[in-house]
Amino acid sequence: MSKLKGKVALVTGGSRGIGAAIARRLAHEGANVALTYNRSADKANAVVGEIEQAGRKGLSIAADNSEASAIKAAVQKTVAEFGQLDILINNAGIFVAKPIGELTLADFEQTIDVNVRAVFVASQAAASYMGEGGRIISIGSNLAEHVPTSGLSLYSLSKSALIGFTKGLARDLGPRGITVNIVHPGSTDTDMNPASGEYSDGQRSLMAIPSYGKPDDIAGFVTWLASEESRFITGAGLTIDGGTNA
């Protein structure tokens, strides 16, 4: 369990759900891990406790992903604490689902600020500290590639924007030996979209494997992408959704 020994990672939105699972898995593979949170300080500190129980160093940082200055400060604080930054996981995001006629300009601005601008800001800041072997991995959504129902136009817009950004950034950073990829999860059992929720049966009906994913499923894949084994993959969108988009 040492694929990432000596590495330092920053996971945005790492206090719960997929982000927390990623933070824990990176630590179990040897990385020291910083994570940001917005409101869940207790949960963030609990994840840091698990990181430290795994024998690694952990750090929780309060940062609202809608504030560009807070994102930059989180990157800087990670480097100040650990002396380097090798892996950035852009995980924090929000989900707004409404028919187009009900969406407001405030909905649009908040979604773009958190789901798109923050990824740009964090990636730009992190890249300035990364050397060869650096990894930038964004968490997108299978809804960036296929939209099976109404009310998802704004969310799908925000996640599909990250596809183009990932491809362009991979070109920018490839000569420095830094890879950039985006992972597109499908329905995953978290508090935001529980497997026992109101809409879960409809989501399962779309899958080739009619079962929700677990946060650890996503975390394992992301951790592999963060390792040396993925060195020849960059600019890619990689879908892990039980075959929903098949």
Q: Which amino acid is residue 15, in one-letter code?
A: S
Domain-located, residue 3: no
Q: Which of 15, 38, 238, 35 is nearest to 138 (CA)?
A: 238
- The two counts, helices (H) then strands (E), for the chain are 8, 7
Chunked mean pLDDT (size 10), the chain, 246 residues:
93 98 98 96 98 97 98 98 98 97 98 98 98 98 97 98 98 98 97 93 96 97 98 98 97
Is this prediction's pTM over 0.95?
yes
| Domain assignment of residue 246, yes or no | no
Q: Is 230 inside any structural domain?
A: yes
SS3 223: helix
Residue 2 maps to a domain: no
| pLDDT tens digits along 24-59 | 999 999 999 999 999 989 999 999 999 999 999 999
* CA distances to 13, 19, 150, 171, 193 from 47, in Å: 11, 10, 35, 34, 20
Residue range(s) defining the domain that contains residue 24: 8-239
53 occurs within a structural domain: yes
Catalytic residue, from 37, 129, 155, 212: name it. 155
Measured in Å, how far apart are the chain's first and last C-alpha atoms?
32
Q: In what order do the strands lie in the sheet with 237-240?
A: 58-62, 32-37, 8-11, 87-90, 135-139, 179-185, 237-240
Structural domain contains residue 110: yes
Asked whether the beta carbons of 12 and 117 are under 8 A apart, the reply is: no
- Please say if 155 is a catalytic residue: yes
Q: How far is CA 238 from CA 81, 104, 111, 124, in A?
A: 32, 31, 22, 22
Rounded Cα distance, 23 and 48, in Å: 9
Q: CA-CA distance, 173 to 142, in Å (whole number)?
A: 25
Give the CATH number, domain containing residue 137: 3.40.50.720
Q: How many domains does the chain have?
A: 1
Q: Which is it for the CA torsion 179, 57, 22, 19, positive or negative?
A: negative
Within a domain: 192? yes
